[in-house]
Amino acid sequence: MAQPHRLKHRIPVKLRHNWKLVALCTAFLAACWGVFGSGTIRPYVTTSGTVRTGDVVQDLTGTRELFDTSVPHEVTLTFRDEGYQDMLTEYFKDGEKKYVEADLTIDGTRIPSVGIRLKGNSTLQGLTWKGRTRPRTGPGGRQQRNGRPPADGQPPANGQPPADGQPPADGQPPANGQPPADGQPPADEQPPADGQTQQNGQEQQNAQPPANGEAQENGRGRRNDAPPGNGRPPELKAEEPENLPWLISFDEFVAGRRYQGHSQIAVRPAMQQSSALLNEALAIAMVGAAGEPTQRSAYASFSVNGRASKPRLLVEYLDEGYAERLGEGVLYKSLASSQFTYQGEDQTAYVDDFKQINLKGQRDLQPVIDFIKWVDEASDEEFSKGLAERMDVESFARYAALQNLMLNFDDMAGPGRNYYLWYDLRTSKFQVISWDLNFAFSGDATAGPNDTVGMRFGGRRARAGAPDQQEQQGREAQVPPERRGVGMRPGHTLKDRFLKDAGFQRLYLREYAALYRELLAGGTATKLLDEALAAYNRNAGADTAKAAQEATALRKTLTTRTEALKSQIS
């Protein structure tokens, strides 16, 4: 048996000399265990605090107002090709939208070290790199929320859609039936020399859109000359960065920097079938004309690393500066995977539903959770009587009316769940803000106030009732498999309950009639379209002939819409 003094000498000298400190630490840990047990500490704020984030250090004034549509604008981007290739590699491998450092010049003002990244979800489903698209997964291009690959972990190996009926990346099988092994396109596969995309060995024709804006069919579905709202992602090439959708961040690499109050701006894509995106510019302007919160937009000539594009639509991003201009409140962005369903009080359960934009560290997601829970659990009578205490119902009636009036399929109830929630701290009420109106004026122009607005497919137009199978597959493919069937079915709980309630339905129809008289019958929409066309044509590189065709198609839509609603508006 070992002697006590020999056992003592087996303990390290440093430990013997500091035994009091070790004992104190052990006692502290034991006390913590007794108080907290095995509970989890969640890192979120539930009350107001004093931490400030997003402080403005530098606000660049520029030479002219960025969203002044009465003058032309010029935007140029320059970045290192190595950084761009790394960004593409990461995006095509796992869907992460990495920022690349770039130098930006806006109307002569040089802004070094801005951050740029790809922007969009469904828009990027048609993006190719070296002739290949990446496998379609969840919103933002990510695999799944838990990091696991979709389904069995592999994209379809034979070019056929998986057994559950979901289409692969771009709705078409890969050219040779085999996906790249690691998500990367083969190095030896280059796009056609003339810049045209090939499908099934046939080169698509870059035909001009017909004057009436109607889609045509060529036996394979919708041609590349149809107007937007076709259920298919636009065809974009990584080899043509001047045509891609970008998010420009002024403070990604330089903290606290803004440009004319903006920390970010969005650059909309240049698409063959809609070079000017007049439909989106018009819709943005119409929301503002209705007195609802909207985004400013303007056209600008645009070039990347010396490669020029046709004028691009710049859109104000709903960032911290935007929230400050709205007033005293908190801004929340709905994500494409949002389901607006109560999931308990743990705020981390809503990371795929909403993103907080401002007052981070001072406010949190609790008001949204409380609102979702109430909408989920309130009886019809409670909903009818209590919604006005929690929401600006007049504004929401105008929001819902505008989406129908403008034939916007992809609103808060659409596949992208495109909207923001503004929580006014003074009134403790929510307001819904429109966002991403690139599908406006793409539905059935004869749809009535109580019809469900759908998208066009191959020359057909979907309207009230169950969605087209292709449309539904497109919706489902934007969310991870484990969330399919939960949040992506047509409709939105809040909007559906609002329009179902008799009292709110009357409010909706009242606001609808007022907007119809002002925007359509009163000629405001036509005037705003003329202004958008003129703004586009002011910029260098404008395709005036094609823009005129887009404007002609939109005017026909506005005329048809006005006449169709005349007999339905009391």
8 A C-beta contact, residue 478 and residue 239? no
* Of 493, 561, 477, nearest in space to 231 by CA: 477
Return the structure tokens found at 63. Answer: 């030479």
SS3 per residue for 309-366: EEEEEEEECCCHHHHHHHCCEEEEEECCCCCCCCCCCCHHHHCCCEEECCCECCECCH
pLDDT at 34: 58
* Of 555, 553, 563, nearest in space to 214 by CA: 553
User: Which of 284, 315, 346 is the last residue in one of the domains?
Assistant: 315
* pLDDT per residue of the chain (570 residues) written in tens, 0 to 9: 545 444 455 555 555 556 666 666 666 666 655 555 544 444 444 333 333 446 899 999 999 999 999 999 999 999 999 999 999 999 999 999 999 999 999 999 999 999 999 998 878 988 999 999 987 654 444 443 333 333 333 333 333 333 333 333 333 333 333 333 343 443 433 433 333 333 333 333 333 333 333 333 333 333 333 344 444 556 899 999 999 999 999 999 999 999 999 999 999 999 877 779 999 999 999 999 999 999 999 999 999 999 999 999 999 999 999 999 999 999 999 999 999 999 999 999 999 999 999 999 999 999 999 999 999 999 999 999 999 999 999 999 999 999 999 999 999 999 889 999 999 999 999 999 999 999 999 889 999 999 988 755 333 333 333 334 444 444 344 444 443 333 345 689 999 999 999 999 999 999 999 999 999 999 999 999 999 999 999 999 999 999 999 999 999 999 999 999 998 986
pLDDT at 29: 65
- 291 and 358 assigned to the same domain: no
User: Which amino acid type is present at position 60?
Assistant: L
- 427 and 473 assigned to the same domain: yes
- 238 and 276 assigned to the same domain: yes
- The half-sphere exposure of 570 on its side-chain side, counting CA atoms within 13 A, is 4
Q: Give the pTM.
A: 0.73
Q: How far apart are CA 108 and CA 94, in angstroms?
A: 37
Q: Give Dmax (Cα) for the chain.
A: 105
pLDDT at 166: 39
* Of 233, 271, 268, nearest in space to 248 by CA: 268
8 A C-beta contact, residue 449 and residue 400? no
Strand bridging mode 264-267 / 58-60: unpaired
8 A C-beta contact, residue 235 and residue 243? no
CA end-to-end distance (rounded Å), the chain? 103
- 347 and 400 assigned to the same domain: yes
The SS3 of residue 368 is helix
Q: How far apart are CA 472 and CA 317, in angstroms?
A: 28
- Domain span holding position 411: 327-566
- 246 and 275 assigned to the same domain: yes
Q: Is residue 275 part of a domain?
A: yes
Q: How far apart are CA 374 and CA 396, in angstroms?
A: 17
Q: Is residue 512 part of a domain?
A: yes
Residue 211's contacts (CB-CB under 8 Å, 6 or more residues apart) are 549, 552, 553
User: Which amino acid type is present at position 546?
Assistant: K
8 A C-beta contact, residue 227 and residue 209? yes
pLDDT at 275: 75
- 377 and 508 assigned to the same domain: yes
pLDDT at 221: 34
- 298 and 402 assigned to the same domain: no
DSSP category for residue 356: E
User: Which amino acid type is present at position 216?
Assistant: Q
pLDDT at 28: 67
- 230 and 93 assigned to the same domain: yes
Return the structure tokens found at 479. Answer: 């969310």
Q: Is residue 348 part of a domain?
A: yes
- 278 and 338 assigned to the same domain: no
User: Which of 291, 315, 339 is the last residue in one of the domains?
Assistant: 315
Residue 90's contacts (CB-CB under 8 Å, 6 or more residues apart) are 96, 98
8 A C-beta contact, residue 95 and residue 125? no
Domain count, the chain: 2
Beta strands in 107-189 (DSSP E): 109-118, 127-128
Q: How far apart are CA 323 and CA 264, in angstroms?
A: 13
The number of beta carbons lying within 10 Å of the beta carbon of residue 55 is 8
8 A C-beta contact, residue 243 and residue 269? yes
Bridge partners of residue 259, in order along the sequence: 60, 262
User: Which of 294, 315, 336 is the last residue in one of the domains?
Assistant: 315
Cα-Cα-Cα-Cα dihedral of 347, 351, 354, 355, to 10°?
100
Bridge partners of residue 434, in order along the sequence: 419
- 400 and 271 assigned to the same domain: no
Give Cα separations from 96 to 36, 139, 143, 233, 393 (angstroms).
37, 11, 9, 19, 38
- 92 and 237 assigned to the same domain: yes
Residue 180 dihedral angles phi and psi, to the nearest 5°: -65, 145
Is the CA virtual torsion 181, 85, 192, 273 positive or negative? positive
Q: Is residue 169 part of a domain?
A: no
Give Cα separations from 318 to 295, 305, 422 (angstroms).
8, 27, 11
- 267 and 392 assigned to the same domain: no
Q: Is residue 26 part of a domain?
A: no
Please calculate the CA angle 212-213-218 and round it to the nearest 5 degrees.
Answer: 105
Residue 452 dihedral angles phi and psi, to the nearest 5°: -85, 125
User: Which amino acid type is present at position 563?
Assistant: E
